Amino acid sequence: MAMTQSSLLIAEDAPESGKRAQVLVPYPLSRAYDYLLPGDMSVQPGDYVRVPLGKRDTPGVVWTLEGKDKIDPAKLKNIQQKYAFEPMPQVHRQFLEWVARYTMSDLGAVLKMSLSAPEALQPPKTANAYTLAGAMPEKLPAARRKIVELLSDGVPRRAVDIAREAGCSAALIRSMAAAGQLAARPASSPAPCRDINLDDTSLTFSKDQQSAADALRKLAGAGKFSTVLLDGVTGSGKTEVYFEAVAEAVRQGRQALILLPEISLSAQFLERFERRFGTAPALWHSEVPAAQRRVTWTGVAEGKTKVVVGARSALFLPYADLGLIIVDEEHDASFKQEEGVMYHARDMAIVRARLGGFAAVLVSATPSLETMVNVQQGKYHYLQLPARHAGAKLPDIHIVSLKLAPPSRGKFISPLLEKALQETFAAGEQSLLFLNRRGYAPLTLCRTCGFRFQCPSCSAWLVEHKRFSRLQCHHCGFLQNVPRACPSCNDEDSFAACGPGVERIQEEVQGLLPDARTFILASDVITSPNMIRGAVRDIEDRKHDIIIGTQIIAKGHHFPSLTCVGVIDADLGLSGGDLRAGERTFQLLHQVAGRAGRGEKMGRVYLQTYMPEQSVIRALAKNNRDEFLAVEAREREKAGMPPFGRLAGLIVSGPDEMKLDQFCRAVAQKAPRYDDIRVLGPAPAPMAYLRGRHRRRFLIKAGKEISLQKYLAEWLSTVKVPSALLLKVDIDPQSFF
């Protein structure tokens, strides 16, 4: 059918069948829009296409074939190109729609998370790989001889790799190829993690591990939806057990995804994976270089890549046939994305499993309250690994009341912990001091006039970093030098540091044990996965005696010689007024405590606190997780808080405080009133000023049976957000800053 150019033609008369398709593009648009098909093109839903959008072209996905817009075809644009690529599976498209509906996000913004390597759609640029060809002249110049030596192992290499390894120019390689000394052929990067070793006879499981592995294998192979919690203390061998479920899914010809928090920090995890499967997994996180992303994305979409290990964004890769998801450290707060599409990767993983008809396995030593309640209500299967692997013992936990045995003036380590550090050092063992605060001091003030250094763009104090002799804002990154004179009263050298950061603790330890080798493990000191790997190796090799670390130390590392852990401020984190503050603190401290004595030796843990009677601290001391969760659950149920009720947050922000408040009042007035829904706010957010924007929050609270999305849609449809302001919806908020 020829395409008409008449602008008089109304939509009802437009040529319909097969000539239009609705294409979703990865931009913040709520739905797919109509495009015309050029005469010789046919598409099906899921096909990747290139379409014009405004002045540029963008990749997109054919969402439906039926054009729904009653738009004059003369105003529609043509699909420019159909990519030669497997279509996005229907179940994946359903998943994206589900996520968009649930999080109240634009469908296009959700698609963007799937089109995370758009260059993968383009045909690969073929680079050549070189090998030695034929006879070489007797005498070669040194540079050429180096290339010949390098290639004499017979492994084909790309020009860039030869240039790097042999220290020569790419031009020299080309000229040798032209002279017939090197043979060139197109190089292609194969999909990662294609062939994995499924049967591992070297495994020796304990009885508990074996029965948990058998149960998981059965669920993973059942070909139907289920959720299971694999609950086990640190070091109980959970990872090896769930690897058996991964093997089962792959054995059935399907793909498996392992979600991990802070993937870049887990070098030890990757080593275990390689030991079990004889190959590295396909990695997916923000630091994977673009070229590798492209190869991995393609391998996943074509079904060649069998196992992906990734951060939360890996959930949105367009798997050809996903058949299992493991969510390791399911309680971890980093599974919640707080920017853009605000989703919880653990919860969305369960949705993905339900849509795909397979098993989701949640794994933790300190499961979230949500998950435990689901177990108790019989919604999730439950597997427990009770005993510690290899017979190691759980540490002794001591509560140090800072009221009864305070540190001396200006110090932060109590006499009891000092003594433990000295004894541990004398015994030739390692200690860890945990304080979740980077820098030297969280607040710097003038002793003369009381002036405090504050960030100009945030309601936050500037943190002193002695390493860089700077003051820094930990929210927006603002930096300034420490001035000589007070900006307020001009007194010189009048500044005092208030409170401890890890740098200050290091200073104190150096005064206490001048011979001990100390080391700071914090995200501003250790900035890349390689540095973390190096630091972990140095600790294992006992190059450090006392490690002072922030929460990056809490993640899954195993240090056999570490026998003493001191938590400088166990109360930190409990004071935030956050719904999950107690739960998070318990999880974090439990993980840190789990660092002690994981080898042959018994560990001990000292928790410094001003609130020894607090339920979190008491449960920790008893090492009684279930008691803690039971107390926490009772309190939440009484208050109708999640998981016994629903919450949503509205965050409104803008540069002009008056206009913001005016708008928020108007929004509040429009809130539809129902008996069983409470709207709290607007109130200044705890971070009332962030990166130059003022912030207000609403909190919407309702019973479990109520759809907050429907309520919010009804409410927000009456609201027009001015362009200077930003209104964000946060369903199931995890943070309340």
Q: Site residues (CB under 5 A) for Zn ion?
A: 446, 448-449, 451, 455, 457-458, 473, 475-476, 478, 486, 488-489
- Nearest CB to Zn ion, comparing residues 486 and 593: 486
CB of 692 to Zn ion, least distance (A): 8
Distance CA 352, CA 92 (A): 8
In sequence order, the 6+-apart residues with CB closer than 8 A to the CB of 204 are none
CB of 464 to Zn ion, least distance (A): 15
* CA–CA distances in Å: residue 632 to residues 99, 234, 333, 586, 612: 29, 22, 17, 11, 17
- Neighbouring residues of 358: CB distance < 8 A, sequence distance ≥ 6: 220, 223, 224, 225, 249, 254, 322, 323, 324, 325
Are the beta carbons of 405 and 416 closer than 8 angstroms?
Answer: yes
Min. distance of Cβ 10 from Zn ion in angstroms?
A: 55
> Between 158 and 475, whose beta carbon lies closer to Zn ion?
475
Distance of closest approach, residue 686 Cβ to Zn ion, in angstroms: 14
- For 480, other C-beta atoms within 10 Å of its C-beta total 13
Q: Among residues 174 and 691, whose Cβ is nearest to Zn ion?
A: 691
**How many residues are recorded in the chain?**
737
Find the shortest distance in angstroms from Cβ 694 to Zn ion. Answer: 13
Minimal distance, residue 459 CB to Zn ion, in Å: 9
Contact 26, 115 (CB under 8 A): yes
Q: How far is the CB of 489 from Zn ion (least distance, A)?
A: 3
Nearer CB in complex with Zn ion: 427/489: 489
Cα–Cα distance, 734 to 647 (Å, whole number): 10
- How far apart are CB 8 and Zn ion at their closest, in Å? 58
Shortest distance, position 455 Cβ to Zn ion, whole Å: 3
> What crossing angle do the helices spanning 267-277 and 529-540 adopt, rounded to 10°?
80
Query: SS3 of 712, please?
Result: helix
| CA angle, residues 390, 369, 354, in degrees to nearest 5 | 90
Buried/exposed code over 484-523 (b: 16+ C-beta within 10 A; e: otherwise): eebeeeeeeebbebebbbbbbbbebbeebbeebebbbbbe
Residue with structure tokens 């290639």?
151
Q: How far is the CB of 573 from Zn ion (least distance, A)?
A: 20
Token pair of 723, please?
A: 């362009």
Give the C-alpha distances (Å, rounded to integers) separating 152 from 133, 136, 306, 614.
10, 12, 33, 68
Pair type for strands 48-53 and 56-64: antiparallel
Closer CB to Zn ion, 194 or 470, in the complex:
470
* Residue number, 94 or 457, with CB nearest to Zn ion: 457
Do residues 629 and 423 make contact, with C-beta atoms less than 8 angstroms apart? no
Write down the least CB distance from residue 688 to Zn ion, Å.
12
- 458 vs 677 by CB, closer to Zn ion: 458
Q: Least Å distance between CB 593 and Zn ion? A: 33
| C-beta of 476 vs 716, nearer to Zn ion | 476
Closest-CA residue to 524 (of 445, 565, 462, 467) = 467
Q: Cβ of residue 473: shortest distance to Zn ion, in angstroms?
A: 3
Contact (Cβ atoms closer than 8 angstroms) between residue 298 and residue 319: no
Shortest separation between residue 494's beta carbon and Zn ion, angstroms: 5
Rounded-to-integer distance, Cα 407 and Cα 388, Å: 35
The one-character DSSP state at 672 is P
Of 376 and 488, CB closest to Zn ion: 488
What is the Cα–Cα distance from 399 to 620, expressed in whole angstroms?
9
The tokens for 121 are 């759609």
Neighbouring residues of 610: CB distance < 8 A, sequence distance ≥ 6: 401, 402, 403, 571
Q: Which helix (H) or strand (E) holds 351?
A: helix 345-356
**Nearest residue (CB) to Zn ion, 106 versus 338:** 338
Sign of CA dihedral 60, 61, 63, 64: positive
282 vs 455 by CB, closer to Zn ion: 455
- Cβ 454 to Zn ion, closest distance in Å? 9
Q: Across the strands, what pairs with 283?
A: 309
Query: Could you tell me the smallest distance in angstroms from the CB atom of residue 572 to Zn ion?
Result: 20
Nearer to Zn ion (CB atom), residue 285 or residue 470? 470
Nearer to Zn ion, 267 or 476 (CB): 476
Q: Half-sphere exposure of residue 24, counting CA atoms within 13 Å on the CB side?
A: 27
- Residue number with CB closer to Zn ion (478 or 644): 478
Cβ–Cβ contacts within 10 Å for residue 216, how many?
25
Read off the amino acid at residue 712: L
- Closest approach of Zn ion to the CB of residue 206, in Å: 50
- E strand or H helix at 512: helix 502-512
- Of 473 and 522, which CB lies nearer to Zn ion in the complex structure? 473
> What is the Cα–Cα distance from 629 to 633, expressed in whole angstroms?
6
Measured from the CB atom, the residue of 451 and 737 that comes closer to Zn ion is 451
| CB nearer to Zn ion: pick between 246 and 463 | 463
Q: Between 10 and 485, name the residue whose CB sits nearer to Zn ion.
A: 485
**What does the alpha-carbon distance between residue 298 and residue 318 come to, in Å, rounded to a whole number?**
9
Tokens found for residue 527: 């900035």
Q: Shortest distance, CB of residue 113 to Zn ion, whole angstroms?
A: 27
Longest dimension (CA), the chain: 93
Residue that the structure tokens 């839903």 belong to:
45
Cα-to-chain-centroid distance, residue 497: 33
Dihedral sign from CA coordinates of 682, 685, 689, 693: negative
Q: What span, in angstroms and rounded, lies between the C-alpha atoms of 617 and 571? A: 8
